[in-house]
Amino acid sequence: AGGVADGGGAPAPVASGAVRTPLRLVTAAVLAVVVTATPAAAGPEDETVGGARLGSPGVVVDRDAPPLPAGISASSFVVADLDSGTVLAAKDAHGRYAPASTLKTLTAVTLIPILEPTRKVVPVFDDINVEGSKVGLVERVGYPISELFSALMMVSGNDAANVLASAAGGQEATAALMNEKARSLHAYDTRAVNPHGLDAEGQVSSAYDLALIARAGMADPAFAAYAAMKRGSVSAPGSARIEMYTKNKLLKGYEGGLGIKNGFTSRARASFVGAAERDGRRLVVTLMRADPKVADEAIKLLDWGFAAAAVADPVGRLVDPEATAEEVVEETAVQARSAPLAGGDGRGFPVTLAGLGLAAAALLCVRHRPAPAAVRRPVPAQRSRPERVPAGRR
């Protein structure tokens, strides 16, 4: 891993304790997808998840909307309604970029439902010996899961992310769970390699996917509470406590700010996922590959979104996480060609609808519940240059 994420005796073992629900990983049934080297037939099945306009690498916004704010450096962004899912504006919504610490939103969405908040976990050295932002966890201290999630979301603790992953079965198992969760949310641009977001080959997401993940998180009261915390503390040796304070600018005086997550690495640059509520309307904004003052850009876009929501028609939508494959195809259509990685060469293999049908049927047999709308080939490894290659129609 490269870059540094911010908000951005024998080792003690991880404390025993059952995970709340079984760690059910996707099986080889997913591999039933039929991949062909010939383009799929033109039509709705070629459109982008969330709507065809979201496949554009440029800015998309309703012509009757107020002008977008100046000074938005982000290579990719999405502004959407958290409750209805309508997308008010976007730029390169499906472009794949390194997510930095915004990936921790997926870590939290994945692990909060399966880890008991009162369970205590004792870190091992490898978990706390991590680069980047840390809360300062130590060996031989038992940390409640709830404190670790607070540290994850409030101060972007990479050590907290590692300890949570160990509690869920290890980093590899947790990454598999995160990728399964992403697929269940129809976040097909996302591939997790680690739980903390430090740069890793092949680890990518998109502004659209981060909005899907944030929407799913904010539907969970526990996630919403962690995201909105301004102050907290974690255990320390003896009776001491380590005080923590939020790094999220939305929680420092912004009207209606609900918080969520910021991130930065030297490779990913600044990224941000934020939400706010005014007059009963909740908006989410996601930005990737931006300048360091990304929180100011998020505030500009949220202000714009609250002004535009009543007058602008949507340019797309965040698909519902519980939607079946058929519903997603009907609403927004499946992407027939695999999206290029930001900074990649744009080459990919289209996924046929027949293959998607086989995968969906296999998953129904394995999981006894509806499958995601599409299963892409694995996201290719991150290139050395992270600048965007237009995604367009996949």
Q: How far is CA 10 from CA 14, 130, 144, 170, in A?
A: 12, 18, 22, 19
Instruction: Provide φ and ψ at 81, rounded to 5°.
Output: -85, 125
How far apart are alpha carbons 170 and 161 in whole angstroms? 11
Three-class DSSP category at 284: strand
Q: Is 156 annotated in the active site?
A: yes
Alpha-helical regions (H) of the chain: 104-111, 125-128, 145-154, 158-167, 171-184, 207-218, 221-227, 294-308, 325-331, 353-367
Given a contact cutoff of 8 angstroms between Cβ atoms, the answer to whether 197 and 119 are in contact is no
CA distance 234 to 133: 15
Nearest to 328 by CA among 192, 223, 186: 186
DSSP secondary structure string for all residues of 168-217: TT-HHHHHHHHHHHHHHTT-TT-B-SSSS----TT-BB-HHHHHHHHHHH
Instruction: Provide the token pair at 28.
Output: 């080889």
Q: Which of 56, 76, 156, 206 is catalytic?
A: 156
- Which one of the listed residues 91, 104, 134, 261 is annotated catalytic? 104
Mark whether 300 is an active-site residue: no
Between the CA atoms of 383, 389, 62 and 302, what dihedral angle is there, to the nearest 10 degrees? 20
- Exactly one of 101, 133, 150, 166 is catalytic; name it: 101
CA distances to 103, 144, 322, 323, 324 from 369, in Å: 26, 32, 10, 11, 9
Residues 288 and 74 sit within 8 Å (Cβ to Cβ): yes
Residues, the chain:
394
Q: Catalytic annotation on 56?
A: no
Give which of 77, 104, 74, 111 is closest to 8, Cα–Cα.
104
Active-site amino acid positions: 101, 104, 156
